[in-house]
Amino acid sequence: MTEMVYGSVARGAGQPILPRWWRTIDRVSLLCVFLLFAIGLLLGLAASPPLAERNGLAPFHYYNRQVLFGTLAMLVLLAFTMMSPRLVRRLGVIGFAFGFVALALLPFFGTDYGKGAVRWYSLGFGSFQPSEFLKPGFVVTAAWLIAASQEINGPPGRIYSLVLALLTAGILVAQPDLGQAALFLFSWGLLYFVSGGAIAPLFGLLGAVVGAGLVAYRSYEHFARRIDGFLSGQVEPNTQIGYAINAIREGGFFGVGVGEGQVKWSLPDAHTDFIIAVAAEEYGLALVLLILLLFVIITLRALVRLMRERDPFIRLAGTGLIGMFATQALINAGVAVRLLPAKGMTLPFVSYGGSSIIATGIMMGMLLALTRSRPQGEIGDLLIGRRR
């Protein structure tokens, strides 16, 4: 009886894997992810040929790569969704360890591809950005530590995880990659918030980040220019933002038509950071709202599912993963409409990018693995009411 109520034994032996997977996976979210990927391919058809042309490659060079990497990412995603939470946790922690070492070794073995920040390993056929892969690993590790701290006699996991977050952020700031550093701190804050921590230290963290931002404003000319550009209130028509905004305006509600868009020819990052501008120009507000809606659905479904979750580790890890996912989407879209200062952040599953799409696949795979439906002891609630 106890076992039945508290769900320590969830399955009978010998249940076939695929039917059980199909029964417990969040099929709507999975569909949304596939839709996003399909939209990304559709937009890639429009956005990547100009880039290929600029780099002197076959017109669909980048598109083919996106199909390849995207398919790979979908397979990785599916593989991860089949894992048990325990396996996810183990892989996440191991991945974090590897990723952290890779990140720390970047200054010695990495390359900057002429962009001024050493963030990549060159693998010959493609590049590998450790910070992308570190994200899911970090979230899982931090969630594990914090969840452990909630056990009786558990370790002080909050402090440990904060130290990890600060270390990672410190390495990222040194690259410099201020945006990713802020994202890591933000995801830690999210975990802390959901784990039931007091609110006041969060404000302390926020203050520290703002202070660090001010220091960065003083010391990084690149960063200062972006912030100034954002604060000036005036959109320079010949900047990326200017092009993006004009493209959105040009597109109106239903777009200028497939292939008719102009912004992809003038924007160097049309296929990554400003993919949403391409979408807005060619297909109009309709497609943009659809993309946003898909993100909202994925986010909300995950959060609602996690509200019912009893296992603190699953709840925290899931929150961290979905939080990072949604934040990344929000930052990308927010930059394109100039609600946020310019920050290179890809739109998950939609933007082009080899390592980033696979990393996002891992992240989403882990999330869907964690949100698979499991018995949550609701019967207990129903039968005896909430214990106070």
Residue 379 binds another protein (CB under 8 A): no
Would you say 51 or 140 has its CB closer to another protein? 140
Among 161, 195, 346, 355, binds another protein (CB under 8 A): 195
Stretch that binds another protein, among 49-57, 63-71, 173-181, 309-317 (CB under 8 A): 309-317
> Which of 40, 136, 229, 251 touches another protein (CB under 8 A)?
251
Read off the DSSP letter of residue 278.
H
> Per CB under 8 A, does 173 bind another protein?
no
Rounded to whole angstroms, the Cα distance separating 318 from 31 reads: 18
Residue 94 CB, nearest approach to another protein (Å): 27
Q: Cβ distance 60 to 342 under 8 Å?
A: no
Q: How far apart are CA 377 and CA 327, in angstroms?
A: 31
CA 387/CA 163 separation, integer angstroms: 35
Give the nearest distance from C-beta 363 to another protein in angstroms.
Answer: 16
Kind plus residue range of the DSSP H or E element containing 94: helix 85-109
Near another protein by CB under 8 A, which window of 81-89, 100-108, 123-131, 302-310? 302-310
Does 174 bind another protein (CB under 8 A)? Our answer is no
The reply to whether 185 sits near another protein by the rule CB under 8 A is no
337 sits near another protein (criterion: CB under 8 A): yes
Binding to another protein (CB under 8 A) within 76-115 occurs at none
Nearest to another protein of 88, 326 (CB atom) = 326
Percentage helix, strand, coil for the chain under 3-state DSSP, each rounded to 5: 70, 0, 30
| CA distance to 38, 194, 211, 366, 367, per residue, from 303 (Å) | 24, 11, 31, 14, 11
CA-to-CA dists, residue 282 to 42, 209, 256, 288, angstroms: 11, 38, 5, 10
| Identity of the amino acid at 236 | E
| Closer residue to another protein (CB): 278 or 358 | 278
Q: Which residues contact 114 (CB under 8 A, 6 or more apart)?
A: none
Should residue 374 be labelled a site residue for another protein when binding is judged by CB under 8 A? no
Nearest approach, Cβ of 143 to another protein (angstroms)? Answer: 12
Q: Which of the ranges 13-21, 88-96, 136-144, 150-158 carries the binding residues for another protein, by CB under 8 A?
A: 150-158
Q: Is 250 in the site for another protein (CB under 8 A)?
A: yes
Min separation Cβ 302 and another protein, Å: 9
Residue found by looking up tokens 């979750």 in the block: 309
Confirm or reject binding of residue 262 to another protein (CB under 8 A).
no
Give me the amino acid identity at 231. Answer: L
Nearest-angstrom CA–CA distance, 69 and 354: 6
Out of 142, 181, 333, 366, point to the residue binding another protein (CB under 8 A): 333
The distance of closest approach from Cβ of residue 382 to another protein in the complex, given in angstroms and rounded to an integer, is 14
Q: Which amino acid is at 210?
A: V
Region binding another protein by CB under 8 A among candidate stretches 97-105, 117-125, 200-208, 325-333: 325-333
State yes or no: residue 303 binds another protein (CB under 8 A).
Answer: yes
Read off the tokens for 382: 């129903």
Look at strands 127-128 and 121-122 and give their pairing. Answer: antiparallel
CA pair distance 263, 181, nearest whole angstrom: 30
Taking the C-alpha atoms of 197, 200, 201 and 207 in order, what is their torsion angle to the nearest 10 degrees?
A: 140
By the criterion CB under 8 A, which residues form the site for another protein? 6, 150-153, 190, 193-196, 237, 245-246, 248-253, 280, 284-285, 288-289, 292, 295-296, 299-300, 303-304, 306-307, 309-310, 312, 315, 319, 323, 326, 330, 333-334, 337-339, 386-387
